[in-house]
Amino acid sequence: MMHYSKEQLLQLNSRFRANLINSCTGYKSSNLLATKSPNGTSNLAIFNSVVHIGSNPPMLGFILRPLTVKRNTYENFKSSGYFTVNQIPSNIIKKAHETSAKYEEDISEFAKSHLTEEFMEGFQAPFVKESHIKMACRYLSEYEIKENGCLLIIGEILDIYLPKDIVNEDGWVHLDKVDTTAIIGLDGYALPKILDRFSYARPDQESHSIYHGT
Amino acid sequence: MMHYSKEQLLQLNSRFRANLINSCTGYKSSNLLATKSPNGTSNLAIFNSVVHIGSNPPMLGFILRPLTVKRNTYENFKSSGYFTVNQIPSNIIKKAHETSAKYEEDISEFAKSHLTEEFMEGFQAPFVKESHIKMACRYLSEYEIKENGCLLIIGEILDIYLPKDIVNEDGWVHLDKVDTTAIIGLDGYALPKILDRFSYARPDQESHSIYHGT
């Protein structure tokens, strides 16, 4: 067993520390966020920090790094009010990763990454055609994390698009059936396979598998 | 392709909606948080919302549901200032899931779940012996998400313990070598396998694999 103390962590080379700390919190969600700028340019960027915030009303959140440089995704959803969240399947991980390159705001990462832009029922922001699970979202609010200047962005989920046959009868979604990936750190992509689902845990009762039905 | 509109989402049965919305944001991290109460009782609870906040200083965050009921984990780290984060490997998913049962504050979920409590170098909160990657953390602050009363808790990472042979030469961690799991929704457990790692993305340059070295 290896031990990094606080003092050792702070003395590490910054890239080593970034890789280590980004890995240690566990697997991250793997999504592409898409927006449209006021002048009509589409923007596409990979985010590994999308999290569940609430179901009623449906909300998600993600962490945005400090606004010390221009962030096109942020500028776009602040001006339009809208963005989309598109899960990354295993067959587009390389293209999705390439959206993290810092392009100027008048360049569309859809074109640069060779991912396909798709519009749904008049929603302002584009979706990613290659994604199997996608959501239309409305910007709600932001909270500044004072410790380092990052922002927690909260969005309302307005629409969900996904294949019917991956939604279980109780609403749970078989992400593995559409090869949704998970991320380690800043640049590692993994493909999860389901092990099991367990019943709601109650004191002094053993949980049982509900993967094949309750 | 199936479409749930905002109106349809709000009309769904609440359990169906909770499963659906909790699944759609993608895979979640899989961790056990451990604390010790002022009277010395250990507490252990599964969290699927631990996220990376920053590397310098090292910080993580997690979402806590509204404080409308007593939450032992929260009370404990607020009074002691400390907690531990322990990744969940595939061989303890059922035990880890059972820590989500609502036990009274004088009951240790370590005993109820048959997971093993371990103390390190005088740190106040217990660790989970069965975990391969574990962190000692200090409570820093909390941000209330006004939209639904959830809290984003921010913790400083003080110590990291993990096997030496899973840390890459650049600090990236092979979570798959210690069978770290990922979570779908509230109750589904998955085991990811690495597909690839890609080089830092730069405009108009194709990323290449760095999984076997740069």
Q: Rounded to 5, what percent of chain B is helix, strand, coil?
A: 20, 40, 40
Question: What is the predicted pLDDT for the residue at A122?
Answer: 87
Q: Where are the alpha helices (DSSP H) in B71-151?
A: 72-80, 93-98, 109-113
Residue in chain B closest to A197 (alpha carbons) equals B188
Q: Decide if B182 contacts B88 (C-beta within 8 A).
A: no
Question: Is B15 domain-assigned?
Answer: no
- ipTM above 0.85 for this complex: yes
Question: A38 CA to chain B: closest CA distance, Å?
Answer: 22
Question: Is B55 domain-assigned?
Answer: yes
Q: Is B174 exposed, middle or buried (0-12, 13-18, 19+ CB in 10 A)?
A: middle
CB contact under 8 A, A203 and B103: yes
Residue with the two structure tokens 């592409």: A32
Interface contact A21, partner B, CB < 8 A = yes
Indicate if the pLDDT at residue A214 is higher than 90.
Answer: no
Question: What is the predicted pLDDT for the residue at B122?
Answer: 87
Tokens matching residue A146: 């004072």
Query: Considering CB atoms only, which of A13, A180, A205 is closest to B27?
Result: A180
We report the CATH number of the domain holding residue B77 as: 2.30.110.10
Q: pLDDT tens digit string along A22-38?
A: 999 999 999 999 999 99
CB contact under 8 A, B143 and A148: no
Question: Is B40 domain-assigned?
Answer: yes
Question: What is the predicted pLDDT for the residue at A102?
Answer: 92
Question: B39 CA to chain A: closest CA distance, Å?
Answer: 21
Q: Rounded to 5, what percent of chain A is helix, strand, coil?
A: 20, 40, 40
pLDDT tens per residue across all 214 residues of chain B: 999 999 999 999 999 999 999 999 999 999 999 999 999 999 999 999 999 999 999 999 999 999 888 889 999 999 999 999 999 999 999 999 999 999 998 999 999 999 999 999 889 999 999 999 999 999 999 999 999 999 999 999 999 999 999 999 999 999 999 999 999 999 999 999 999 999 999 999 999 999 988 7
Question: Is A95 domain-assigned?
Answer: yes
A50 pLDDT tier (thresholds 50, 70, 90): very high
Question: What is the predicted pLDDT for the residue at A213?
Answer: 81
Indicate if the pLDDT at residue A40 is higher than 80.
Answer: yes
CB contact under 8 A, B197 and A187: yes
Residues of B in contact with A10 (CB under 8 A): 56-57
Residue with the two structure tokens 């371990």: B118
Residue with the two structure tokens 């009951």: B107
In angstroms, the CA B109 to CA B132 distance is 19
In angstroms, the CA A47 to CA B11 distance is 30
CB contact under 8 A, A2 and B163: yes
Please report the beta strands in chain B, taking only residues with DSSP state E, as ranges in sequence order: 2-5, 28-29, 31-36, 42-47, 51-55, 58-64, 82-87, 117-118, 127-128, 134-145, 150-162, 182-184, 188-197
Domain that holds residue B36: 27-190
CB contact under 8 A, A210 and B187: yes
CB contact under 8 A, A53 and B148: yes
Interface contact A189, partner B, CB < 8 A = yes
Question: Is A9 domain-assigned?
Answer: no
In angstroms, the CA B48 to CA B45 distance is 10
Question: What is the predicted pLDDT for the residue at B152?
Answer: 98
Indicate if the pLDDT at residue A212 is higher than 80.
Answer: yes
Question: Is A213 domain-assigned?
Answer: no
Biggest distance spanned by C-alpha atoms of chain B: 60
Tokens matching residue B32: 């056990």
- The per-residue DSSP string of A113-146 comes to HTPPEE--TT-SS-EETT-SSEEEEEEEEEEEET
In angstroms, the CA A177 to CA A190 distance is 14
Question: What is the predicted pLDDT for the residue at A143?
Answer: 98
CB contact under 8 A, A26 and B194: no
Q: pLDDT tens digit string along A97-144?
A: 999 999 998 999 999 999 999 999 889 999 999 999 999 999 999 999
Query: Considering CB atoms only, which of A15, A56, A164 is closest to B171?
Result: A15
Tell me how many degrees the CA angle A171-A174-A180 measures, rounded to the nearest 5.
Answer: 130
Question: Is B51 domain-assigned?
Answer: yes
Stretch A195-208: mean pLDDT:
95
Find which of B1, B24, B129 to mutate to test the A interface (most A CBs within 10 Å of its CB). Answer: B24
Residues of A in contact with B163 (CB under 8 A): 1-2
- The per-residue DSSP string of A163-174 comes to -GGGB-TTS-B-
pTM of the model: 0.97
How are beta strands B117-118 and B28-29 bridged, if at all? unpaired
Question: What is the predicted pLDDT for the residue at A147?
Answer: 98
Question: Is A65 domain-assigned?
Answer: yes
CB contact under 8 A, B2 and A167: yes
35-94 of A, contacting B, C-beta below 8 A:
48-61, 63, 85, 87, 90, 93-94
Per the structure, the count of domains in chain B is: 1
Tokens matching residue B73: 């984990």
Q: Decide if B209 contacts A214 (C-beta within 8 A).
A: no
Question: What is the predicted pLDDT for the residue at A68?
Answer: 84
Interface contact A115, partner B, CB < 8 A = no
Tokens matching residue A191: 């493909």
Residues of A in contact with B141 (CB under 8 A): 146-147
Residues of B in contact with A93 (CB under 8 A): 195-196, 198
Question: What is the predicted pLDDT for the residue at B19?
Answer: 98
